[in-house]
Amino acid sequence: MGQAAAALGQAAAAADAFRRCTELTAHAQPGTQLHALHQTATDNLLLESAAVLPPSWIASLHDEPWLAALQAGIAAALQQASQCSSDGTQLPPRVLVCGGLGLEAVLAAQAGAQHVAMLCQDNPLTARLAAELAAASGCADRVTTATSADQLGAGAQPGGYNLVILADALGSSVDWGLLQRQLAAVAPLLVQHGGSSGSGQHCAAAASIVLPHAVRICGQLVQCAAAVALNQVDVEQMAADTGGLDLSTANELLPRARRSLQLPSYQHTALSSPTTLLTVPLASLLSCSVEDGSTASHQPASGRMAVTTAGSADALCWWLEQQVVADGADEPQQQPPLLSSSPSSCPAGEAALHLHIWQHLEYMNRQQLAAGEAVDVRCQLGGSSGGGGGGSSGAAYVAASGMQDLSLGDIPASGKAAASLNFSVQLQDGSSGSGSTAGQSLLLPVTSEQAAVAAAVPQYHTSMLNDSARTVAYRDGIAAAMLEAEAKAAAAAAADSQPQPRRPLVLEIGSGSGLLLLLARKAGASHSVGCERLPELQQVAAQLLQANGAAHSVAVLPKHSRELAVAEGSSGSGSGNDEVSSAADLPRRADVLLHEIFGTDPFSEVEQLLHVC
């Protein structure tokens, strides 16, 4: 079942099936087929669960300030929800948790909630894990889990749920598309104005409390050369390391408009103070009417950042903050609990221990800014407010549809920032002390074509090209390999009484952008062939070869190495030519094999090397 679900791309179902298999085979004796099955199921469980479990959830459990703020916020929200009654009587809160692994549900139960339902949409693995967490925490009788809204509806509380906790809106990134689907599914189960649950079309002035109360998008201008190096090849250093190769074409093809990272891990300078750019009250997603098609209003917000420190405008760094409950929900004299992913919340020395906290960069054009200048930043959630709402299940769909394009993704796994959280960054009119033109955009210009290519290329590729020590090591190693191959060719030619030795033929498996092939050409290779399955990288390689005058002697083929064909009857010796027939990719077996294995898991490439040898 697990393999079948995995083949269909159903990672949650696959992980759950593999987990059940590990439980059934847990007592298998080593050396038996049952034990081998147990090991296989365990390996596949780890692989599939990585795609469905909340990212960095273990790190968040060890963040005591974060847990304390969340716990205080849930307790305050429960107190507020217990007062929500149409006739003035105090009713116990009825809690619905959307997403997560069960932590929020357990905290709600421990804070006094008598009934907590948890929706793990189409995710049986997290449903089972949450149930086990509740049992281990002594509140299994108060926490129930479901994998669909239909299951929730069958056991819905009379009057509806009056507190909904959006666990997936509590991290350093928010998948607004997922949030939209969750709210659309559970809207009919929530308390509405007047105290009834939502079985009809209307959900105006919804009475249910939403946690977090609001999500803020905050930001500041930063100078960070290390972040720039993740996005731009150091052309001058690369030329020095490679004996004159020109990789400027890579910067024309691979710029990224944005990136997610832990800014405290990189040396940087703040050019301005933190500023709140946009506030999204999540309760407004439930204030809508499907019949009239109205939507919650989330107008673009503008903020003015005063440049306090002169420097290069490398990026706008932005992050999320969650106001857990409304002002005064717990203690009127105190600030409500706040969860923050700001750079200051994660000191540089502790970044490795706070994998659940990260920020996002909008790359800028590196223009020099002077202290005292002012920069206007406009922030808007992408997507239109209409479209797709009519006929969908749940009235919250229309309210959320205007925000559905904001999908920030997960930093370590995908590294993707929000492509549809739109920013406008420009100098304030009359503020041009640095000689800049007032009103001009300071964002790095990236076309849709460039963005498409960059999105398909691994995010580490540019920083890998900027690894000077790596480049020099490959340069010297390839040069030594070419000398050895030439010596062997000369010896073979002498043994066969050939007048001239054949020039070594170079083959690279997984050519990427073609750097190693270019280094081989620098080392004397007259004919080289590479293969690269990723079309976008193969196109980058082709243009880099052209820019360096190597297109006539180096070819990067868009195929897998297993698909390469060697000309029939070819020989590894002799002085014949290296003309390639139309049916063959290589005129003969290669003399030098290049393959990139420098990384954290070099042995993962062994299979690739074995099949080409």
Find, among 581, 582, 579, 585, the residue nearest to 563 by Cα: 585
Question: Alpha-carbon distance 313 to 381, whole Å?
Answer: 23
Residue 599 neighbours by CB under 8 Å, 6+ apart: none
- The 10s digit of each residue's pLDDT in 295-317 is 444 555 777 899 999 999 999 99
Secondary structure tally for the chain: helices H, strands E: 20, 21
Task: Give CA–CA dist 415/434, Å, rounded.
Answer: 34
Q: Does 215-229+256-321+336-453 carry CATH code 1.20.272?
A: no
> Which range, of 54-68, 524-538, 540-554, averages the lowest pLDDT?
54-68
What torsion do the CA atoms of 52, 124, 175, 405 make, to the nearest 10 degrees? Answer: 110
State if pTM tops 0.85: no
Separation in Å, CA 70 to CA 344, 474, 609: 19, 50, 50
- Indicate the fold that domain 467-612 takes in CATH: Rossmann fold (3.40.50)
Output the CA angle 380-382-387, nearest 5 degrees. 130
**Given strand 554-557, what is the order of strands in its sheet?**
554-557, 527-531, 505-509, 592-595
CA distance 93 to 19: 34
Helix locations, 375-467, DSSP H: 396-401, 411-414, 448-456, 461-465
Question: By 3-state DSSP, what share of the chain in percent is helix, strand and coil, each rounded to 5?
Answer: 35, 20, 45
**Residues 492-495: contacts with CB under 8 Å, at least 24 apart:** 492/572, 492/573, 493/573, 493/574, 493/575
**Is residue 217 a contact partner of residue 382, using CB atoms and an 8 Å limit?**
no
CATH superfamily of 57-211: Vaccinia Virus protein VP39 (3.40.50.150)
pLDDT digits (tens, 9 = 90+) for 158-188: 678 889 999 989 988 888 777 777 888 888 8
Pair 15, 45: CB distance under 8 Å: yes
What one-character DSSP code corresponds to residue 470? H
574: exposed, middle or buried (C-beta count within 10 Å: 0-12, 13-18, 19+)? middle
Residue 434, helix vs strand vs coil? coil
Does the pLDDT of residue 432 top 60, yes or no?
A: no
Task: Count Cα atoms within 13 angstroms, Cβ side, for 44.
Answer: 26
**DSSP-based three-state secondary structure for 146:** strand
Which tens digits make up the pLDDT trace of 76-133? 999 888 764 556 666 778 899 999 999 999 999 999 998 999 999 888 888 999 999 9
Nearest to 575 by CA among 526, 529, 531: 526
The three-class DSSP label of residue 209 is strand
What is the Cα–Cα distance from 263 to 247, expressed in whole angstroms?
27
Please list the alpha-helical segments (H only) found in 254-402. 396-401
Binned at pLDDT 50, 70 and 90, residue 414 comes out as very low
Take residue 458 and report the two structure tokens written for it: 């691994």
Is residue 194 scored above 70 in pLDDT?
no
**Digit-coded pLDDT (tens) for 35-82:** 889 888 888 888 887 777 776 778 888 888 899 999 999 999 998 887
